[in-house]
Amino acid sequence: MEQISTWIEKRAMINPHRLALLDQRRRLTYFEMNNEMNRWAYYLRKIEMLQQGDRVGLYFNNRIDYVLLLFAIAKIGAIAVPLNTRLTSEELSYQMADSEMSMLIYEHEFHRTVATLTNEHPQVTTQSIESITLPPLQETYTSHDFPIIDASTPYMICYTSGTTGRPKGAVLTQENMFWNAVNNCTSIDINSMDRTLVLLPFFHIGGIGLFAFPTFFAGGTVAVLGKFDPGEALNMIQREQISVIMGVPTIFDVIRKHEDFFQTNLSSVRIFCSGGAPCPKELIEFYLQQGLPFYQGYGLTETSPTVFMLAKEDYKRKIGSVGKPVLYTDINIVDENHCPVAVGEIGELVVKGPNVIKEYWRLPAETKQAITDGWFHTGDYAKADEEGFIYIIGRKKEMIISGGENVYPLEIEQVLREEVAIDEVAVIGVSDEKWGEVPFAFLVVKENYSITEEQLKQACLSKLAKYKIPKSFVIVSELPKNAAGKVDKKQLKALLTKESMLKGE
């Protein structure tokens, strides 16, 4: 298995003048991208003296240099550690220590945070990306001067969101990234004619694997937006004739609400693809009503990330499903004894394939718990219909047990989202003396709309058993979200705890 930097090297030979990478300031052909990748690789290896296996932290916003560094790091056999730009210095410090980072490359915007981190980790070399001067091209190594890398060795440590306790470092290999590229190209037909717009942050596996790396594998063009702005995104789609767009539901919701949406020519887009969080049916139908192809998929950091994708034949008739497994990935839905459940029954989704991580960084016990006989336990509940289409029911850790009955927050959220007045909703479990736990709903109401608690209860009563109906409905101005656009339910629980303490409950 060849290392992934050869994708760029060989395209530079085969299609040197084809546009490979662009943002709002720069445009690089594959020939130019290969040269820039080599300059970065030379800088890391020869000037910073990084060796195979050294960990390199990347702490900046989306930009062309992020992509170049990811491939340069792959070329010298180092290990990339993408860092979430929204984390606190304490959270970043943990990841630096846990990964035993050798070098941190950061954006000047974050220099104050880096100053704090430098005091805590004086052994880590830090460089702002703005201050780095790359060597002239003629000084860089030719490709045969770089080491031969075993593609099965660690390439990237992506820290999970850490819904409980400290985040875990999912160790991805270059081999994982290769198979994710193959899976995506074969599932939604990514090809050399595609222009893919990256809206998700590169510190998130979705920004890298959906669909930047697969597009490079196919020989297409990757457009990097930078910090997300819906107006700039619409402008770039029209200007650059973007054909493939990946986002989370929050991103697509903000885009459709922008004042320029209906004035923007979106005819070049053949795929709007949503993942990362359950997508409201109303949002999907909005895009379909505009004649825009809107797909759904499912993936995880630990699966590089793609597991499911709706095919072009099914995205209209199977709204709500995440599709079927991609070509080189196997799945099963199992009960607590790891036995497959029947069609239509709910169980835990497990995944197996060359896209699945081999381990969590230096956490053998957690790795053993998560991976059994090659099957990765996702922690997500799912069910299959008679045709084999998969529906995600919710996180195992979020399941509410109320009076001995299983309650899935996602099921309640989907019912509440059908109310025309509701913009966003999140349901969590709250301790209750009588029932053990009860559902508790947070809602954002659309502008110029109103709705009462009684109306919400009646809406639930028509479609849900009584024990599933939230004990309380709280109207909030917005729901807290993480950098990937997912609702942060930990913050909601913390908010409830804080309010209860203030009330003396």
Tens digits of residue pLDDT in 284-332? 999 999 999 999 999 999 999 999 999 999 999 999 999 999 999 999 9
Q: Which residue has the tokens 């009462």?
A: 452
- Helix, strand or coil for residue 500? helix
CB distance 127 to 32 below 8 Å: no
Domains along the chain with CATH numbers: 5-384 (3.40.50.12780), 405-503 (3.30.300.30)
What pLDDT does 499 receive? 55
C-alpha torsion sign, points 54, 56, 57, 62: negative
b/e per residue 105-128 (b: at least 16 CB within 10 A): bbbeebeebbeebeeebeebbbeb
Per-residue tokens: 139: 């000084």
**Shortest CA distance to 124 belongs to which of 97, 152, 155?**
97
N-terminal to C-terminal alpha carbon distance within the chain: 60
Cβ atoms 426, 441 nearer than 8 A: yes
Q: Which of 106-120, 158-172, 226-240, 263-277 has the lowest mean pLDDT?
A: 158-172
Which of 125-129, 160-164, 168-172, 464-468 shows the lowest mean pLDDT across its residues? 160-164
Judge whether residue 502 has pLDDT over 50.
Answer: no
449: exposed, middle or buried (C-beta count within 10 Å: 0-12, 13-18, 19+)?
Answer: exposed
123 with 104: CB under 8 angstroms?
A: no
Neighbours of 239 (CB within 10 A): 12
Task: Assign 406 a pLDDT band (cuts: 50, 70, 90).
Answer: confident
Q: Summarize pLDDT for 70-89 with one digit per residue, the tens.
A: 999 999 999 999 999 988 89
Q: Looking at residues 446-473, what average pLDDT do you find?
A: 92
